[in-house]
Amino acid sequence: MRNYKILFFLPLLFLLSCKDKEAAGILSQEDMQAILVDVHIVDGTLFEVPGFPDSLYKYSVGKYQRVFEQHHTDSVQFKKSFIYYSNRPNELFKIYGKVVPAIKFKADSAATVKRKADSLENIRQQKINAAIAKRAADSIKSVNDKKLKADSLKKKVKPASAVKPKKNALL
């Protein structure tokens, strides 16, 4: 009977001892997905950095650090989690199945915002152009009005040579 108890508890003990010790300190799939979305967006923004040898490092460190701070993690935990999920391709495939649509959604949202901003800028520029055209038209009208006024004054006022002096009765 004692042997049966040992045989019964031995597999249970074996299963408990085989618990995945690597999973300690690993980010959940949802957290990993959110971080990967932001990391890939930062990767995309680095294409705008000039191509000097140390500039990529100089500009990227702060951006990646902000992403990790935003998600309350650090680069060590991220790397450890990425290696963990890389060793489990099915799980990594599931994560990236959610990462890619999230990036596309953000890119589409950014494009929509840019289009709206561009259209608002076009409307603002059209208003400025209309105001400038109105101001120019008003200036031309003002100059023309002054010219007409000057012309009418010339017609009313006779030149000094055209005016004949009246004879003085006293003389």
pLDDT at residue 79, rounded to an integer:
92
Examine residue 31 and state whether it is found in any structural domain, yes or no: yes
Examine residue 15 and state whether it is found in any structural domain, yes or no: no
Full residue range of the structural domain in which residue 56 is found: 23-108
Examine residue 154 and state whether it is found in any structural domain, yes or no: no
pLDDT per residue as tens, the chain (171 positions)? 666 666 565 565 555 555 555 567 788 899 999 999 999 888 888 777 666 667 677 777 888 899 999 999 988 999 999 999 999 999 999 999 998 899 888 888 767 777 777 777 888 888 888 888 888 777 777 777 666 665 555 555 555 555 565 665 555
Rounded-to-integer distance, Cα 71 and Cα 50, Å: 28
- How many domains does the structure of the chain reveal? 1
Examine residue 101 and state whether it is found in any structural domain, yes or no: yes
- SS3 category, 18: coil
Contact 81, 146 (CB under 8 A): no
Residue type, 145: D
- SS3 category, 132: helix
* Two tokens, residue 159: 């030149």
Name the strand (E) or helix (H) holding 32.
Answer: helix 29-45
Examine residue 166 and state whether it is found in any structural domain, yes or no: no
Q: Which residues contact 103 (CB under 8 A, 6 or more apart)?
A: 37, 40, 41
Examine residue 82 and state whether it is found in any structural domain, yes or no: yes
Examine residue 11 and state whether it is found in any structural domain, yes or no: no
Q: Can you say whether residue 25 is alpha, beta or left, with left for phi > 0 and alpha for psi between -120 and 50 degrees?
A: left
Examine residue 85 and state whether it is found in any structural domain, yes or no: yes
